[in-house]
Amino acid sequence: MTTENPNRGMTRRQARTVEYSIIGLCIVAMVMIFQPFSLSLFSVGAGLVVLGGLAFNLVPLCRPGVPASRLVKAGLIVLGILVVVIALAIGAAHLYGIYLQNQ
């Protein structure tokens, strides 16, 4: 494992801010899911749980000295995976609907 140069990349404060932001997103999503008042908040929370779960993969990169570009690149890869999974889910649901109509 290589050690990153602390003079290049994110500072300790920036890394901690990104890490706490990801954790905060997950906490807010959980609160939105378990609140008993609004179905709309539950729906938004359900989406945020998925997004927060994928964003949690970025926490290991939240270290001082890691370039922010590496964090952004990993975030784009995670976002790309989310888009592919959503496309597969929607495609499978569509094909299942066609199957049910033909029955």
Band of pLDDT at residue 91, cut at 50, 70 and 90: very high
Question: Is position 97 within any domain?
Answer: yes
Question: Is position 3 within any domain?
Answer: no
Count how many domains the chain has: 1
Is-contact 86 60, C-beta < 8 A?
no
Q: What is the pTM of this model?
A: 0.76
Question: Is position 82 within any domain?
Answer: yes
Question: Is position 2 within any domain?
Answer: no
Query: Domain range holding 52?
Result: 12-101
Give the model's pLDDT for residue 45. 93
H-only helix segments in the chain? 12-34, 39-55, 68-101
